[in-house]
Amino acid sequence: MPGMNSGVTDNDPTVVAAFRAALAHQGIIALLIVGILAVVWVAIRERRQASGDGAAGLGAVGPVPAEAAGRQVLRIGFGLLWLLDGLLQAQPDMAVGLPSGVIQPTAETSPVWVQHLVNWAGTSWSYHPIQAAAATVWIQVGIGLWLLAARRGMLSRLAGVASLGWGLIVWVFGESFGGIFAPSLSWLTGAPGAALIYCAAGALLVLPERYWRTPRLGRAILAGLGAFMIGMAVLQAWPGRGFWQGSVNGGPGALVSSVQSMVTTPQPGFLSGLVSSFGSFARQDGFGVNLFAVIVMAALGAAFLTGRRRVIVPATWAFVVFCLADWILIEDLGFFGGLGTDPNNMIPVALVGVAGFFACTRVPEATPDAATAAAATPDGSGRGWVPRLAALQASLTRATFGTMASFSAIGVIVLGAAPLAAAQANPAASTVLAQSVDGPASTVVYPAPSFTLTDQRGQRVSLPSLRGKTILLTFLDPVCVSDCPLIAQEFRQAGQLLGASNKQVELVAVNLNPLYHQLSYIQTFDKQEGLASVPNWLYLTGSPATLTKLYAKYGVSSQTLPAGAMLGHSDIAFAIDKSGTIRQELDFNPGPGSTATQSSFASELASAATQTLRAS
C-alpha cells in the first residue's frame, strides 16, 4: 500500500520525543481548560449564593429520576473503554507505527477498494504523525470523560453522538470495517470490529431517556444481539473457511493461526503460556473447539431471541463468561504489543449484552422528567444582553459538577482535534519525519564557495550571477538509481510549497558524477524527473576537474565503489542567502523515500528557504 508506511521506524527517538512533547504541551493546556472552567463555575456559584439567589438555584430543580441501569452500564462501560483506548493511543510507537503496524495489516485481507480507502487515511496520518496520534489520544480520552461525566440530558446524549461518530471513523479507517469484507471474518477473533460496537453503544445512548423506561428497548437489544450471534454461528460453521480444522496442510487452521499470531506479541509470560496452551489444544482438536463455539453461539443467540426473562438471565451470565473466555484465550486481551489500540470486541459486546439485560429487567419507575422541571426555570429568552447574561449566570449556578466536567471533556476533544485539522490543511508533511531521518538543519554563516559552471541549457552560470536570490543548492548524480531522483523531487516539491516566494529562490544542483559530466546526461536526468519545465531549476555541470575541485570546496564526498555499484556520495543541501552566504546546511539523505518522507524533506527545504529569505 503506497503511502501507508512512512518508512521511519516505529520507535524513532525523534518522533517519539516529539509525540511526548506534544502530549505534554496539550496536557498542560487541557489542565488549564479544566482549571479555568472550575474556577469560573465556583466563582459564579459563590457569588450567586452570596447575593441570595443561590438557594433557589442550587436545589430547586425538583426530583431527578435515576438513570436507567442499562443505560448506566453502557455509559460508564464505554466511557471507561474510550478512556483506556485513549491511553493506549499514547504508547510511544503509535505515532509512526499505527499506519504500518495496525491499519495496514488489518486491511491486507480486505478487498482492494477497502485498501484504497484505508491507504488514504494511513497516508494522511503518515504526513502528520504527531498531530494525528496526539489528536487520537485527546479525542478518545475526551469522549471517555464526557461519557463518564454526563449522566443525564442533552449533554449525555451528545456524548453518545460523539462516541457514534468517532467510533465510525475508527471502524472504517482504523479497523478496515472490522474486517467484515475479509474472508477470515469471525466473531471469535474480533468481528465485526470493536469500534462498530462502540458505535452501537453510542447510538443507544443517543436515544431519548423515555426509551429506557420500558423493557422494550432491552428486549430489542437482546433480540438484535441474538440475531447477530446466530449469524456469527452460521458463519463460524460455514464449511471451507478453515475453522473446522486445527491444522491445514501442516500449517495452523484459521482460528489457531489467529491465536498463534497473538501469542507472538510482547506480554506477561503467564498470559502467553495460557494462550499458547489453548492454541495447542485447538490445533489438536480444532473440530471440537469450533463445534463447541458454534453450539454456544447459536444457543445464546436463540436464548436472547426468546425475550423470556427466565431464559435470558442464565443466557446473559453464560454470554459474559463466554466473552471473557474468548477475550483471554483467543484474543489474548487484545491490547498488548506496543501497538494495541483497544481490548478488541469481546468486552464491548459483553457490555452491550449486560446493558440489554438490565434494560429488560431493571426498568426505573416513571418520575417527572428533569427536563420538565428545568423548563420551569428562567431561560434568559428575554430581550437584551442583561437578562441573557443573568440567565447564563443562573444556568452556570445550577450546573452540576457533571455538566462542568462534560464541558471540560469537550474542551479536551477540541484541543486534540484543532491541531490535527490545522495540520491537514497543509498539503506538505510535517518536518519531523525529515528530522528523524537526518536530524535538524544546522544554522551556519560562511561565504558560499564560488563556481562558474554550465547549466542544462548550455548557459554559463556563476554564483555571483545568482546574487539577489536565495539559493537552495545540492549535488546530484545524473545516473544515480535511488537517492538523487528522490532529492530532485524534494527540491521540485519545495519550490511548489514556497508559492509566491519561489520567484525569489533558485533551485540549483551540481553534477556529482564526473564520468557523466556531459550536458546530455543532466538534460536526460531533468527529463526523467520532470524538471525540464521548472523555471527556477538549474542543473549545473562542468569539466571533471572543475567539478572535483568544487566538491572539495563544499565538503561533498564522491567515491567510486567497485563492482557495479553507483557512485558513493554524500547527500547534502545548502541554503544560501542573497549575498552569497550559506545560512543553513541540511543533511539530505532521503532515507526510506516514502511519499511522506519526501514531502517532509520538501517542507524542511522550503522552511530553510523561507528562513533564509527572512534573514537576508
Q: Of the ranges 66-74, 261-269, 375-383, 479-487, which one interacts with other proteins (CB under 8 A)? A: 479-487
Q: How far is the CB of 213 from other proteins (least distance, A)?
A: 17
Going by their DSSP bridges, the two strands 452-454 and 558-559 should be labelled as: unpaired
Q: How far is CA 321 from CA 46, 328, 361, 577, in A?
A: 50, 11, 19, 70
Nearest approach in angstroms of CB 224 to other proteins is 5
> Minimum distance from CB of 458 to other proteins (Å)?
10
Give per-residue burial for 348-377: e unless 16+ CB within 10 Å, then b: bbbbbbbbbbbbbeebbeeeebbeeeeeeb
Interaction of residue 486 with other proteins, rule CB under 8 A: yes
Q: Does 372 bind other proteins (CB under 8 A)?
A: no
User: Of 503, 438, 526, 491, whose CA–CA distance to 599 is shortest?
Assistant: 491
Nearer to other proteins, 196 or 463 (CB): 196
Cell numbers standing for residue 450? 564560488
Asked if residue 610 binds other proteins (CB under 8 A), the reply is: no
Strand ranges (DSSP E) for 433-556? 442-447, 452-454, 460-462, 470-476, 505-511, 537-540
Out of 117, 313, 567, 615, the residue judged to bind other proteins by CB under 8 A: 567
Buried b (16+ CB within 10 A) or exposed e, 220-249: bbbbebbebbbebbebbbeeebbbbbbeee
**Nearer of residues 372 and 518 to other proteins, judged by Cβ:** 518
d(CA 507, CA 489): 11
220 binds other proteins (CB under 8 A): yes
Neighbouring-strand partners of residue 475: 510
Nearest CA-CA partner of 342 in 108, 204, 127, 144: 144
**Which residue, 82 or 521, is less far from other proteins as judged by CB?**
521
N- to C-terminal Cα separation, the chain: 43
**Nearest residue (CB) to other proteins, 260 versus 306:** 306
Nearer to other proteins, 307 or 337 (CB): 307
Tell me: does residue 112 bind other proteins (CB under 8 A).
Answer: no
Q: Candidates 32-40, 140-148, 204-212, 237-245 — which segment interacts with other proteins by CB under 8 A? A: 237-245
Q: Is 237 or 390 the residue whose CB approaches other proteins more closely?
A: 237
Q: Provide the grid cell at 8.
A: 521511519
C-alpha cell at 535: 523555471
Our finding on whether 337 is near other proteins (CB under 8 A) is: no
Considering only residues 500-519, where is the footprint of other proteins by CB under 8 A?
A: 513-519
Residue of 181, 281, 336, 551 that binds other proteins (CB under 8 A): 181
- Residue 154 engages other proteins in binding (rule: CB under 8 A): no
Pairing of β 505-511 and β 470-476: parallel
Q: Which member of 481, 500, 533, 535 binds other proteins (CB under 8 A)?
A: 481
Measure the CA angle with vertex 563, ends 560 and 567; round to 5°. Answer: 30
Long-range contacts from 318-324, C-beta under 8 angstroms, 24+ separation: 319/350, 319/353, 320/350, 320/353, 320/354, 322/296, 323/347, 323/349, 323/350, 323/353, 324/350
Nearer to other proteins, 40 or 479 (CB): 479
Stretch that binds other proteins, among 152-160, 348-356, 472-480, 575-583 (CB under 8 A): 472-480
530 binds other proteins (CB under 8 A): no
Strand partners, 452: 462
Using CB under 8 A, which of the segments 24-32, 217-225, 312-320, 351-359 binds other proteins?
217-225
Among 442, 462, 482, 579, binds other proteins (CB under 8 A): 482
**Window of 50-58, 180-188, 194-202, 397-405 that interacts with other proteins by CB under 8 A:** 180-188
Binding to other proteins by residue 492, rule CB under 8 A? no
Radius of gyration, CA atoms only, the chain: 31
**What is the nearest approach in angstroms of other proteins to the Cβ of residue 222?**
9
* H-state helical runs in 338-482: 346-361, 370-375, 385-398, 401-424, 432-438
Of 4 and 230, nearer to other proteins (C-beta) is 230
Query: At closest approach, how far in Å is the CB of 416 from other proteins?
Result: 33
Establish if 566 lies at the interface with other proteins (CB under 8 A). yes
User: Quick one: cell of 264?
Assistant: 507472538
Q: Tell which one of 27, 101, 224, 380 touches other proteins (CB under 8 A).
A: 224
Q: Report, in Å, the least distance between residue 223 CB and other proteins.
A: 4
**Residue 526 makes contact with other proteins by CB under 8 A:** no
Residue 226 binds other proteins, judged by CB under 8 A: yes
The reply to whether 563 sits near other proteins by the rule CB under 8 A is yes
For the record, the C-alpha cell of 62 comes out as 425538583
C-alpha distances in angstroms, 170 versus 51, 437, 551?
49, 29, 51
Residue 237 lies near other proteins (rule: CB under 8 A): no
- Candidate residues 144, 190, 485, 542; the one interacting with other proteins per rule CB under 8 A: 485
By CB under 8 A, the count of residues binding other proteins is: 53
Site for other proteins in 413-442 (CB under 8 A): none
Of the two residues 462 and 518, which places its CB atom closer to other proteins in the complex?
A: 518
163-to-62, 128, 142, 349, 432 alpha-carbon distances in Å:
30, 24, 10, 15, 31
Residue 143: which of 125, 122, 127, 164 has the closest Cα?
Answer: 164
φ, ψ (nearest 5 deg) of residue 582: -75, 125
Q: How far apart are CA 118 and CA 306, in angstroms?
A: 39
Query: Taking CB under 8 A as the rule, does residue 561 contact other proteins?
Result: yes
CB 140 within 8 A of CB 26: no
| Nearer CB in complex with other proteins: 52/240 | 240
Exactly one of 34, 95, 137, 185 binds other proteins (CB under 8 A); which one? 185
Query: Contacts with other proteins in 191-210 (CB under 8 A)?
Result: 191-192
Q: Which stretch binds other proteins (CB under 8 A): 181-189, 267-275, 443-451, 492-500?
A: 181-189
Q: Does 118 bind other proteins (CB under 8 A)?
A: no
Q: Closest Cα to residue 348, out of 64, 76, 28, 81?
A: 81
How far apart CA 386 and CA 371 sit, in angstroms, is 25
498: part of which helix (H) or strand (E)? helix 483-498
Stretch that binds other proteins, among 12-20, 232-240, 245-253, 492-500 (CB under 8 A): 232-240
Residues in the site for other proteins, rule: CB under 8 A? 111, 180-183, 185, 191-192, 216, 219-220, 223-224, 226-228, 230-232, 234-235, 238, 240-241, 305, 307, 477, 479-482, 485-486, 513-521, 524, 528, 560-568
